Amino acid sequence: MGSQTQSQLPVVDFTNQNLKPGTHTWLSTCQVVRSALEDHGGFLALYDNISLETYHSVYSEMKNFFDLSTETKRRKTTEKPIFSYSGQRPGIPLYESAGIMNPLNYEDCQKYTHVMWPQGNDTFW
């Protein structure tokens, strides 16, 4: 399920074949995910159906996003504040977050990407 120490993100195992909605395994995993998000702001997911190439490309593009200047990341992408960039706070200097409205919508992802990279970044979106 999940293992954690104070210096590491929890690891959540999504490879269990019995991980079906409503089962004990599902409910237990949901609790681990919730605790990880509340206590650490994230977790490492074990999932064997994603290729290393996909994993590395997603990680690389997220790094590219967070490497943008603070001014760029604060560009307005929506009227909804929860989806705006948040970071650079004195009490939590390593915290940063951002959200994309309708992340499964092609046009909305393209619009967000164009705000962050006016010159374009097909790999990100």
- Give pTM, 2 decimals: 0.59
For residue 3, what pLDDT is reported?
A: 45
15 vs 33: CA distance, rounded Å: 14
Which residue ranges make up each domain of the chain? Answer: 2-46, 52-116
Contact 44, 11 (CB under 8 A): yes
- DSSP E strands in 1-125: the ranges are 2-3, 11-13, 44-46, 86-89, 92-97
| DSSP state for residue 82 in the 8-state scheme | G
First to last CA, the chain: 31
Q: pLDDT of the chain along its 125 residues, tens only? A: 444 444 578 889 888 888 888 899 989 999 999 988 888 878 888 888 778 888 788 889 989 999 999 999 999 888 887 788 888 888 888 888 888 888 888 898 899 999 999 998 988 87
For residue 4, what pLDDT is reported?
A: 41
For residue 72, what pLDDT is reported?
A: 95
Q: Residues for the chain: how many in total?
A: 125
Tokens of 115: 């705000």
54 vs 48: CA distance, rounded Å: 12
